[in-house]
Structure 1
Amino acid sequence: MSIEEMILHKIIETSNNNITITDGNGIILYTNNTHWAVYEGETQSYIGKSIYDLEELGILSPSITALVLKEKQPAQIMQNTKTGKIIMSTAFPIFDEKGEIIRVISYAIDQTEIRLLQEQYEQLEERVKGYQKQVEELKEKEDLFYRSKEMQQISKTIKRVANTDATVLFLGESGVGKSMFARKLHTLSHRDKGPFIEVNCSTIPPSLFESEIFGYEAGAFTGAQKSGKQGLIEQAHNGTLFLDEIGELPLSMQAKLLKVLQEKKLMRIGSSKEQQLDFRLITATNKNLEEMVQSGDFRLDLYYRLNVIPLLIPPLRVRKEDISFLLNHFSRKINRKYKTSKKLHQATFEILLSYKWPGNVRELENLIERLILTTEDSMIRPSSLPSYMIGQASFDHENTSILDQFLLESSDLKALLERVEKWMMLKASKQCKSTYEMARYLGISQPSVIRKLKKYKEDSINI
């Protein structure tokens, strides 16, 4: 053995890498014995053996050297061993002057642990995604968008009665969020895995009401589907039936609905067989049902059946704290939806706070979406608002004149900013009940509010 061969042998023997060198026929010339431990689980000497024989025995599956000899170019493959390991093999050919392969050098790296870690990481990633989804679902269950005491009380009542089957009647103007609260009640209940069937009683023509609500058998009437049709009440079985605008329910249907509610049994049109049903009833209306009872437009017995837990949702105009919160909430939500980052200018915010919101939460959400989609600037200024909204907003003219006076009295920017800041702190302290509300109102942190209050304490700002 020449000195060069001795040096090469020692390099391969002592290398941390798994190295094998074959001749042009695939006969192993040099290798470190530890190399083969990854294939057979024990150290053996394979010098002088053919890689084709080892491949046939399943020790190399497949052989990277055989692939290089066949294709006459470098290659990289993943091998599976008898011991269950995963090996990444890379091999390079060496050519003589005639272009014939005289040697193939291959390297084997055990990837088993790396693959295992990768699989564990992917599994962990899936679990994290699952946890995130659960957190979002829990958050969705808990989030009701309010700040006012009235809405907090409604939320507490909803949580208390959610896991009962008591009938809940939501009262309030159009757009206050009765449907949202009904869905939230269903989500918090033990029926949350069952269907939530929402029926708007004002949108179904009286002539079709009975067939839509109670369903019908095949051939029950002219024009009926051949297979019959399941009614909306049936669809709510094991879930929740939400009858919105219950005040629009035809008087002729009220007696039949009352019977279903009392007995939890239903008979389709054209059928002689009753079905036993299990559902929770939630209703909502913007009408005064008591007055409708007095006028004979609503059955007294049905009213008593529905009026088990009445919840009156106040209009948005009487709960200013919620207006501020909802403006910020829907701005964030719609910006996320359309991948934008538009903000309400403070003057715009003030106008929206003063606006009466006859359409309540529905009007507010629709307006914010419209402003974010149609305003070109990243800052939404009062000029983007509908003219009727600016006209109806109740401005504080005294404060406006104070701002004008500030501008007339001083051209010193630092002094002017300090006066405006002091004025805003005073205004916030009058409108808000705590430093946390002031922070939300002013768009700054609560510690900043406390620092500024201390700064202007001598100027009669009191909380």
Structure 2
Amino acid sequence: MEAKYFEPFLDAFKEAVCITDSQGVVLHINAKYSRLTGIEKKDIVGKNLQELVDGGHFDIVLNPIIVKGKVETSRIQNLMNGKKLLLDGHPIFDDQGEVACVVTFIYDITTLEELKEQVIAQRELLETFKKLQSIDAGEQRICPLVVHSEAMRRAIGQIGMLAETDATVLLLGETGVGKDVFARRLHASSPRADKPFIKADCGSIPENLVETELFGYAPGTFSGGIKQGKVGLIEAASSGTLFLDEIGELPLAMQSRLLRLLQDWEIKRVGSTTPTKIDVRVIAATNKDLEEEVAAGRFRSDLYYRLKVAVIRIPPLRKRKGDILPLAQCFLEFYGARYKRSCELTPAAGQALTEYRWPGNVREMENLIHGLVITSANDRIDEGDLPIKRSSAPPINIADAEAPDLDIADRSYKDIMRELENQVLLAGLKQYGSLQEMAEHFQLDRTTVFRKVRAMAKDLNMPMPVNKRRKRKSTKDS
């Protein structure tokens, strides 16, 4: 081939081509190579490829490897402009069998690598979602949604109004009232029903793991972490519903990060500098008084107001007596079918269940009925079989009842109750000697006790008691 045709010949290749001598000096490149790398012919021909490596143009060359091994070799090369290239090098031998030059074909695999990363990320997200769904399905309780009482009908009515919106919902209620059931009902009734429902129990995740569990982490963040990184629960819920149970237990540091999600609808994985937009509907739940938590400095006020877009207060079981027996019947049928027993409640047992206060709410009832189905010797469950007792004291006539000696004339209920509370606080200080011990015995938060005692001292125009812990007797003195 005549020399004048050699350059057009190289330019006819669809692939980028680079030819070097045995020392790594560039002899020829084609036009496609310049377009792909951004390096002009005048800036590379006659130069050693190692100079371009040292100058930061790319990170690897094949020439030394091929010359030494005398075999075809392929490697991935990273350019300074972010592109990824596949180098496919071939040795050309002289008459003595030595490598005279190296011809390298170069392919742009940047798009392929990006697609590979996307596939890996999607596979990781799918596997995470399947894992979460299988765990979640195993943890779902059997709590039926029974609606007979007026209080429950009002609460359920709110679900119908809110389900069609994407508004953030805050579920409030005592432990065991069925906040999880409400959250799932909201999701199932919404346009996102066929999308993920991910539950994050903020109270059960160890504090040192909360951030990575919720937000995930980028590849290479932790030496002992998953090589490809990890999807957080928030990201796994994208396009669906994120249920943040027991949100009152979330550490303050994580509250600020969650606030950003609710403000900007984007998150950053731990170890990442790139934010990710998230389309998710947030439902939060707690059995705490968040206003009191805000006043005590344990919960961010700005996060509270972001969560308080729509509030559903779920009534405790003692305030929805019309639901007690239907609920008990649902649990009897479910556990009866599981253990192949046909149990029923006597009228006396039903009355006892109705009059019981149910401090553990629906969860307590489920466990109670579950235990009865397993342990009851007879299929008819009577009052005596119940592990709860009704009060045997006869009803008291109001006219015969003894009232405490209180001055209530021309005084508001609020003033009377404040006087009673002050008396209790004074008695507590006298009995226990310190705010800390009084808080422990009264089963109150120390901050709450401090606030109440300070208000009492102001009411009675007395100095604030010194908070000293009473000395306990040592075992030697006893």
TM normalised by structure 2 equals 0.51
Which residue identity is paired with 2:174?
E
Cα offsets for 1:239-266 (capped at 9, x unmatched): 1000000000100111111101211111
Give the whole-Å Cα distance in 2 for the aligned partners of 1:369 and 1:246: 29
Alignment partner, residue 257 of structure 2: 256
Q: Secondary structure at the match of 1:155?
A: helix
8 Å contact kept, 1:201–1:245: yes
Q: CA deviation at 1:395?
A: 4.8
8 Å contact kept, 1:144–1:155: no
Structure 2 counterparts to residues 148-187 of structure 1, below 5 A: 148-187=149-188
Which residue identity is paired with 1:328?
Q
8 Å contact kept, 1:241–1:279: yes
Q: Is 2:271 the counterpart of 1:270?
A: yes
8 Å contact kept, 2:219–2:227: yes
Alignment partner, residue 233 of structure 1: 234
Q: Secondary structure at the match of 1:347?
A: helix
Q: CA deviation at 1:267?
A: 1.0
Cα offsets for 1:196-220 (capped at 9, x unmatched): 1011101011111101100001221
Which residue identity is paired with 2:274?
K
8 Å contact kept, 2:177–2:361: yes
Q: Is 2:377 the counterpart of 1:394?
A: no
Q: Secondary structure at the match of 2:302?
A: helix
Q: CA deviation at 1:184?
A: 0.6
Give the whole-Å Cα distance in 1 for the aligned partners of 2:192 and 2:289: 29
Q: Secondary structure at the match of 2:271?
A: coil
Q: Secondary structure at the match of 2:230?
A: coil
Give the whole-Å Cα distance in 2 for the aligned partners of 1:338 and 1:182: 29
Q: CA deviation at 1:376?
A: 2.4
8 Å contact kept, 1:354–1:394: no
Alignment partner, residue 195 of structure 2: 194
Root-mean-square deviation (CA, aligned residues, Å) is 1.7
Which residue identity is paired with 1:216?
Y
Give the whole-Å Cα distance in 2 for the aligned partners of 1:220 and 1:147: 52
Q: Is 2:336 the counterpart of 1:335?
A: yes
Cα offsets for 1:131-163 (capped at 9, x unmatched): xxxxxxxxxxxx731211111011111011101
8 Å contact kept, 1:145–1:325: yes
Q: Secondary structure at the match of 1:349?
A: helix
Give the whole-Å Cα distance in 1 for the aligned partners of 2:391 and 2:282: 41
Q: CA deviation at 1:223?
A: 2.4
Cα offsets for 1:293-334 (capped at 9, x unmatched): 111111111001000111111111122111122122222222
Give the whole-Å Cα distance in 2 for the aligned partners of 1:203 and 1:144: 25
Q: Is 2:283 the counterpart of 1:286?
A: no
8 Å contact kept, 1:169–1:306: yes
Q: Secondary structure at the match of 1:169?
A: strand
Structure 2 counterparts to residues 346-361 of structure 1, below 5 A: 346-361=347-362
Structure 2 gaps of 5+ residues are 1-143, 397-478
8 Å contact kept, 2:239–2:280: yes
Structure 1 gaps of 5+ residues are 1-142, 400-463
Cα offsets for 1:47-68 (capped at 9, x unmatched): xxxxxxxxxxxxxxxxxxxxxx
Give the whole-Å Cα distance in 1 for the aligned partners of 2:317 and 2:363: 10
Q: Secondary structure at the match of 2:235?
A: helix
Give the whole-Å Cα distance in 2 for the aligned partners of 1:361 and 1:384: 19
Q: Secondary structure at the match of 2:243?
A: strand
8 Å contact kept, 1:213–1:233: yes
Structure 2 counterparts to residues 419-458 of structure 1, below 5 A: none
8 Å contact kept, 1:245–1:285: yes
By percentage of residues, which structure has more helix? 1
Q: Secondary structure at the match of 1:216?
A: coil
Alignment partner, residue 245 of structure 2: 244
Q: Secondary structure at the match of 1:281?
A: strand
Q: Is 2:367 the counterpart of 1:366?
A: yes
Q: Secondary structure at the match of 1:291?
A: helix
Q: Secondary structure at the match of 2:156?
A: helix
Which residue identity is paired with 1:374?
T
- Of structures 1 and 2, the larger Rg is shown by 1
Structure 2 counterparts to residues 47-196 of structure 1, below 5 A: 144-196=145-197
Cα offsets for 1:353-401 (capped at 9, x unmatched): 1111000000001111110111121111233222xx11xx2357479xx
Alignment partner, residue 210 of structure 2: 209
Which residue identity is paired with 1:156?
G
Alignment partner, residue 321 of structure 1: 322
8 Å contact kept, 2:151–2:319: no
